C-alpha cells in the first residue's frame, strides 16, 4: 500500500476548497482587529488576535501539513500531508497536533476569562470566579505540560508505537497501512504515554464543557447596571458575540472532541461521520472568525467603514486616471 495515499476525495476536496472562504475571513478579521481604534476594545482585541492567528495555523496544520486519513474501526490516523511527504514521522505529527489542540484550548480559555473579568463588577467577590479561575489555571498547566512532556518520552513512545502496530498487523495481515511510518495508533491507556495524553485531553474537554457555557450564562445574568449606556450597550454586544462563540466552539470543537475520545475508548465504525468531525475540528476557527466579524458590533462597523473608504479611494483614483487620460489625449 502507498503509505502517502490521500483521504477519500469526498473529504479531501472540501477540506482544501474551504480555504477559499476561510483565508479571506482570517485576513479581514485580523485587519479589523489590528486597525480598529477603540478605548473600550483595546485589551480584548489582543486576545482575539491571538485566537484568530492560532486558529489559522491550526487549520493549515490539520488541512495541509497533516491531512489525516482514517481507517475504521482502528483508533488511528494515517498522515498524508506535507509533513509526511517530507519524511516527518506520525508520532511527531501527533505530538504537534496535541500541542496545537491544547494551545487552541488555552486561547479560548484566556479569551473567556478576560471577558468575564471585564464584564463582572467586583468579580473577586463571586464564588463562581474561583471555580473559573481553577479551570483557567489548570488549562494553562496542561498546555505547558503538553509542551514539555513529549520531549521526555519520545523514545518510549516510538517503541510503544512499533509494538502496537506489529501486534495489530499480526492479527490483521491484510491491513498493510498498519506498518506505515505515517500511521499513529492511539492506544487507549495501553501505555503511560497514551494514558497521560488521553487523560489530559479528557480533562481539558471536561473543563470546557462546564466553563465555557457557564461563563456566558453567568455574565448574562450579572452584567452591572451602573455602567453608562454606551458601555452597557457595548458589553451586551460583546456578550452576544461571546455566546455565539461559545455555541460555535461547543458544536464544532466540543462535540468532535467527545466523539474522538469515545472512538478511542470504545471504537467506531462509520468513517464518514469521523471525517465530518475532523472537518469541524479543522474549520471551527473559520466559523469562529466569521462570527466574530458579523456579531461583534465594533468590528462589524469598522469593517463596513473601512471597506467603504477603500472603495471610495479606488473610485477617486479611477476618476483621476480618466481625467489624466483625457488631458493627455487633448495634448
Q: What is the pLDDT of residue 41?
A: 66
Least trusted range by pLDDT, from 5-19, 157-171, 266-280, 312-326: 312-326
User: Residue range 21-37: average pLDDT?
Assistant: 88
Q: Is 87 left (phi over 0), alpha (psi -120 to 50) or beta?
A: left
Residues 128, 232: Cα–Cα separation, whole Å: 22
State the first-to-last Cα distance of the chain, in angstroms, to the nearest integer: 72
Q: What is the pLDDT of residue 325?
A: 62
Residues 125, 230: Cα–Cα separation, whole Å: 25
Q: What is the pLDDT of residue 250?
A: 82
Least trusted range by pLDDT, from 49-53, 65-69, 132-136: 49-53
Q: Are 329 and 95 spatial neighbours (Cβ–Cβ below 8 Å)?
A: no
Residue whose entry in the numeric block shows the C-alpha cell 483521504: 7
| Residue 1 included in any domain | no
Q: Quick one: which of 262, 242, 264, 249 has its CA closest to 209? A: 249
Q: Which range of residues forms the domain containing residue 272?
A: 9-306
pLDDT at 169 over 60: yes
pLDDT at 287 over 80: yes
Instruction: Report the run of H or E that residue 77 belongs to, with start and end.
Output: strand 76-79
pLDDT bracket for residue 171 (50, 70, 90): very high
| Residue 30 included in any domain | yes
Instruction: Report the run of H or E that residue 146 belongs to, with start and end.
Output: helix 127-171
Mean of all residue pLDDT scores within the chain: 86
Q: Quick one: which of 202, 251, 243 has its CA closest to 223? A: 243
Residues 316, 300: Cα–Cα separation, whole Å: 24
Q: Are 283 and 18 spatial neighbours (Cβ–Cβ below 8 Å)?
A: yes
Q: Is the peptide bond before 14 cis (omega within 30 degrees of 0)?
A: no
Q: 3-state DSSP call for residue 248?
A: helix
| Residue 191 included in any domain | yes
CATH code at 114? 1.20.1070.10
| Residue 172 included in any domain | yes
pLDDT bracket for residue 302 (50, 70, 90): confident
Q: pLDDT tens across 55-97, in order?
A: 999 999 999 999 999 999 999 999 999 999 999 999 999 999 8
pTM for the full predicted model: 0.84
User: Residue range 282-301: average pLDDT?
Assistant: 86
| Residue 314 included in any domain | no
Cell of 271: 468513517
pLDDT at 307 over 80: no
| Residue 255 included in any domain | yes
Say if strands 183-185 and 76-79 run parallel, antiparallel, or are unpaired.
antiparallel
| Residue 60 included in any domain | yes
Q: pLDDT tens across 197-211, in order?
A: 888 888 888 888 888
Residues 7, 84: Cα–Cα separation, whole Å: 13
pLDDT at 38 over 90: no
Q: In what order do the strands lie in the sheet with 76-79?
A: 68-70, 76-79, 183-185
Q: What is the pLDDT of residue 119?
A: 81
pLDDT bracket for residue 319 (50, 70, 90): low
User: What is the count of structural domains for the chain?
Assistant: 1
| Residue 327 included in any domain | no
Residue whose entry in the numeric block shows the C-alpha cell 491531512: 67
Q: pLDDT tens across 215-238, in order?
A: 888 888 887 776 677 777 777 777
Pinpoint the alpha helices (H) of 39-89.
Answer: 42-60, 82-85
Q: Quick one: which of 143, 37, 160 has its CA closest to 100? A: 143
Cell of 276: 465530518
User: Residue range 266-284: average pLDDT?
Assistant: 93
Higher pLDDT, 82 or 257: 82
Q: Are 271 and 77 spatial neighbours (Cβ–Cβ below 8 Å)?
A: no
User: Residue range 153-174: average pLDDT?
Assistant: 93
Amino acid at each position: 500500500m502507498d503509505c502517502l495515499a490521500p483521504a477519500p476525495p469526498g473529504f479531501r476536496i472540501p477540506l482544501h476548497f474551504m480555504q477559499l472562504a476561510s483565508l479571506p475571513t482570517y485576513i479581514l478579521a485580523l485587519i479589523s482587529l489590528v486597525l480598529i481604534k477603540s478605548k473600550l476594545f483595546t485589551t480584548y482585541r489582543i486576545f482575539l488576535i491571538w485566537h484568530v492567528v492560532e486558529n489559522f495555523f491550526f487549520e493549515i496544520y490539520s488541512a495541509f501539513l497533516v491531512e489525516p486519513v482514517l481507517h475504521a474501526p482502528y483508533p488511528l490516523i494515517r498522515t498524508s500531508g506535507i509533513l509526511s511527504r517530507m519524511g516527518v514521522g506520525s508520532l511527531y505529527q501527533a505530538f504537534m497536533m496535541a500541542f496545537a489542540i491544547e494551545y487552541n484550548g488555552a486561547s479560548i480559555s484566556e479569551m473567556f476569562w478576560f471577558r468575564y473579568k471585564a464584564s463582572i463588577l467586583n468579580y473577586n467577590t463571586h464564588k463562581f470566579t474561583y471555580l473559573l479561575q481553577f479551570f483557567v489555571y489548570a488549562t494553562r498547566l496542561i498546555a505547558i505540560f503538553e509542551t514539555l512532556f513529549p520531549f521526555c518520552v519520545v523514545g518510549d513512545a516510538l517503541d510503544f508505537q512499533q509494538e502496537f502496530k506489529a501486534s495489530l498487523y499480526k492479527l490483521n495481515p491484510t491491513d498493510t497501512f498498519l506498518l506505515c511510518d505515517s500511521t499513529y495508533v492511539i492506544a487507549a491507556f495501553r501505555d503511560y504515554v497514551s494514558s497521560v495524553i488521553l487523560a489530559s485531553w479528557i480533562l481539558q474537554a471536561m473543563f470546557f464543557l462546564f466553563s465555557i457555557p457557564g461563563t456566558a450564562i453567568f455574565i448574562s445574568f450579572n452584567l452591572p447596571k451602573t455602567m453608562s449606556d454606551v458601555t452597557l450597550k457595548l458589553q451586551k454586544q460583546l456578550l452576544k458575540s461571546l455566546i455565539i462563540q461559545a455555541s460555535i466552539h461547543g458544536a464544532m470543537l466540543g462535540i468532535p472532541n467527545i466523539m474522538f475520545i469515545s472512538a478511542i475508548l470504545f471504537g467506531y465504525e462509520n468513517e464518514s461521520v469521523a471525517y465530518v468531525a475532523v472537518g469541524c475540528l479543522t474549520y471551527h476557527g473559520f466559523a469562529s472568525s466569521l462570527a466574530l466579524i458579523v456579531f461583534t458590533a465594533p468590528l462589524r462597523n469598522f469593517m463596513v467603514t473601512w471597506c467603504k473608504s477603500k472603495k471610495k479611494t479606488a473610485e477617486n483614483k479611477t476618476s483621476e486616471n480618466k481625467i489624466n487620460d483625457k488631458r493627455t489625449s487633448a495634448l
